[in-house]
Structure 1
Amino acid sequence: MAMVGLFWIAEGDVYLGAKPTGLAPGVRLTPEGVMGLGDGQSTLHLWEDVRALTLADVPMKSFMRQAGKAGGVALETVMNLVLPERPLRAGEAPPTMTLHVSTDGGDHRLTAYTAAAAGYSSTEAELSGALLSRLTEGAATMSTTLAAMSDWGRRAEGGSPRGAERERLLRQWADQGS
């Protein structure tokens, strides 16, 4: 499993945001279409009907977000040392982002949890948006691009690559089928 931009790629499956479990919201990109997962959004929008994919509410990486995450972990550690008998608090849900899917039948909103706790870099968010737009340019482009992402996911070892490599991959995938 690895995160590249706003995508989570696990054993050849491509998700926007984190791979959902249970009834958690998520979005999977399949050769058939854009699949909403989770409670209240289980649906499939076929690629032939999808006209545009746009992102909203993407949490961006910032110093304050990173400091807040580190501070929260530190506070939780101190509280566990001072009050070891208190019940462990379940972690907060990660932030979400929205994928707007424009189809012949109207506009649809799908929600996905983000995979980056501290948010995404502006470059990776922009490249991910460009890649999503590229997927709507036709069946051949979509098929080639998703196949390249899936193949990389099956071969990836050792988790998510570093920032420069993630950006390189996003650019390469956005150029698929050109």
Structure 2
Amino acid sequence: MAMVGLFWIVEGDVYVGAKPFGRAPGVRLTPEGVVALGDGQDGLYLWEDVNALTVEGVPVRSLKRQAGAVLGTVMSLTLSVDMGGEAPPLMTVSVGSPDGDHELAAYVAAANGYSPTEVDLSRALLARLTEGAATMATTLAAMSEWGRAWEGGTPRAAEREALLRGWVG
């Protein structure tokens, strides 16, 4: 499993945000369409009906955010306060279709937020997936193939950006 931009790739499965567990909310991208997972948002939006795919509420990594994470860790250790019990923040994945926009929730996978470059490239990749069946199939297949072949954790930032650029085309 690995995080590449806003995507969590586990073997051949591609998720926007963190892979959900149990009934937690999540969004999976499959060759058939966008799958809404979790309580209150089960459903499948077929690619032929998806005309837009965007994401909002993405925490962007900044010096202030990193300092806050470090401060929280120090406070937790110093004061013996467990500050890690909260659920990660949610982001909103909007699926545009002829019958309107459908807002789906997905947990953020990056504890300190995502880099601005990875956010921009991920948004471009989501837009690319709506450009037509051939583009979606080729792009999603490349992401899934990489996930099946990848051994190890999340790649370093430069490699993640290179992967996203390649998938965006």
Q: Which residue of 1 aligns with 2:26?
A: 26
Within 2, Cα distance between the matches of 1:90 and 1:59?
17
- Structure with bigger gyration radius: 1
Within 1, Cα distance between the matches of 2:158 and 2:83?
36
Contact 2:72 2:83 in 1 (8 A): no
Q: Which portions of structure 1, spanning 4 or more consecutive aligned residues, are displaced by more than 3 angstroms?
A: none
Count of aligned pairs between the two proteins: 169
What is the aligned-residue identity percentage?
Answer: 66
Secondary structure, counterpart of 2:51 in structure 1: strand
- Normalising to structure 1: TM-score of the pair? 0.91
> By how many angstroms is 1:100 displaced?
1.0
Within 1, Cα distance between the matches of 2:84 and 2:158?
33
Secondary structure, counterpart of 1:98 in structure 2: strand
Q: Which residue of 1 aligns with 2:147?
A: 153
Within 2, Cα distance between the matches of 1:69 and 1:23?
27
Aligned ranges for residues 32-111 of structure 1 at < 5 Å? 32-80=32-80, 91-111=85-105
Judging changes above 3 Å, is the alpha-carbon distance between structure 1 residues 63 and 143 closer, same or farther for their aligned structure 2 residues?
same
C-alpha distance after superposition, 1:69-96 (max 9, x if no partner): 122122222233xx8xxxx676111111
Secondary structure, counterpart of 2:112 in structure 1: coil
- Normalising to structure 2: TM-score of the pair? 0.95
Which stretches in structure 1 are left out of the alignment for 5+ residues? none
Within 2, Cα distance between the matches of 1:90 and 1:135?
35
C-alpha distance after superposition, 1:14-60 (max 9, x if no partner): 00000010111110000010011111111110000000111111111
Within 1, Cα distance between the matches of 2:96 and 2:51?
5
CA RMSD of aligned residues (A): 1.3
